[in-house]
Amino acid sequence: MYLTILHLHSFLRWLVLICLSFALCRSYNGWFSNRHFSSFDNWVRHITATIAHLQLILGITLYCISPLVRYFYSNYIAAIHQREIRFSGIEHSSIMLGAIVLITIGSAKAKRRKSDKDKFRTMAVWYTIALLVILISIPWPFSPMASRPLFRHLAR
């Protein structure tokens, strides 16, 4: 079960980045070209937040059953001084939760804006900040905080 959730989580990770990038392209384009905020733009806003929330649910599930996190809490004093373990036990989950909160706030605020330009601008600003936060917290293969392969199933 752990591996199934891990693979689904890995897939959703990329889907979140793709949806967020697409939403940002649409929002910046709409903002700077004074386009009408269409029902498709609203759907993109909504589906981006929904996929991010699905990723959050899977991430929390994975966090609760992860052997690495279990080790972190069982050996807290030693583990807090190990960069990779600390990153998995505290930093990654906290920062990603913050990114999901930013996406949620941005989506809700954009939905309630009156003018089309304000909707696009609100999405662009909040989603950009969320994307930057996500990119900082991803355990890239070159990251000094923790490194993992981009595609776990191919790295075996």
Tens of pLDDT along 19-57?
999 999 999 999 999 999 999 999 999 999 999 999 999
State residue 148 phi and psi, 5-degree precision: -140, 155
Q: What are the extents of the domains in the chain?
A: 2-154
Question: CA–CA separation, 129 vs 109, rounded Å?
Answer: 14
* Residue range 89-110, pLDDT digits in tens: 899 999 999 999 999 999 999 9
Whole-number mean pLDDT of the chain?
A: 90
